[in-house]
Each structure stands twice: as structure tokens, then as C-alpha cells.
Amino acid sequence: MKTVHELAVELRNAPGALSDVVELLSSTGINILGLSAKVEGDIGIAGLVVNDPSRAVNVLETAGYKVTLRDILAVEAPNHPGALNAILKPLKMAAVNIENIYFLRGSMVMGAGQILAIEVNDCGQAYKALSEEWIRILGEEVYNL
């Protein structure tokens, strides 16, 4: 099964917290390919897909950040009306819950399909449901976007 690693980085809910993480990663040559962020109370969680996940975890943990590495799916969505539902509907039919979804940078080429980062409650079931519908799922090749 092809998956991509996402770093879930715990941040304080304060101005500049996300900027500090981005600056730290960029200063070590780590490229951010996709990013989502959400805040609940005093804590924020940044979901990051980067070109070198294991090195990024090391850099962030050394700097004192709490990081969780989790597997997500990177799925190609063609660029036409209804393409997103071609991905969402099989997940719905398989009773797979989407916990987070966002676009990956480098996949926004005019006219080309776009790559979605999808965090789900059951990667195996999601992979099976999407594969049966001939949806293209990417793995480590995403790190070279």
C-alpha cells in the first residue's frame, strides 16, 4: 500500500508559532510540499508533508517540538467538474472518515491533475476503496514534487 508521511506538529496558539516552524525547516533545507493548520484552544496542530520526513522529525524534535508521524494518502484528482467527488464518494461508500484534506504544493500545474493529501481513519480501507475505482494513489514519489 502506498502512503505518504505527514508530520503533525503541536504548536502553541500564538502569533508567529507556525512561522517559526517554517523558518526552522527551511533553514535546514527541508521543503514543505503541503500544509494544513488548525487551532483548538491554546494548542494548534500543523500537518506537514515535506520532502524528507525523517530528517524533519529529527530537526523539529531537537528544537523541542512534539511531532507525530502518521501515514496519509496522496491521491490524484483530475482537473474537471466532479473529479473531487470521484474520490470522496468511494470513501463514503466504504465508510471511511476523512479527518483532514488539503492540496500538495507542486501539483497545481495548469490543466494537470492535482494531488490531495488525505488523512483518514482507516488508510487500508481507503486505499482499497480508491484502488477499486482506479484512482491514482502516490507514494514516495510525492517527496519529489
> What pLDDT does residue 47 have?
97
> What pLDDT does residue 81 have?
85
Least confidently predicted of 59-63, 110-114, 129-133: 110-114
- Mean per-residue pLDDT over the chain, rounded: 92
Residue 5: all three cell numbers together: 508521511
The CATH number for 72-144, chosen from 3.90.470.20, 3.30.70.260, 3.90.1150.10, 3.40.50.300, is: 3.30.70.260
Residue 73: all three cell numbers together: 494518502
Q: How far apart are the first and last CA of the chain?
A: 20
Q: What is the pLDDT of residues 69-113, one digit of tens each?
A: 999 999 998 778 888 899 999 999 999 999 999 998 755 554 557
**Structure pTM?**
0.90
Residue ranges of domains in the chain: 4-70, 72-144
> What pLDDT does residue 109 have?
53
CATH topology of domain 4-70: VC0802-like (3.30.2130)
Confidence category of residue 114, pLDDT binned at 50, 70, 90: confident
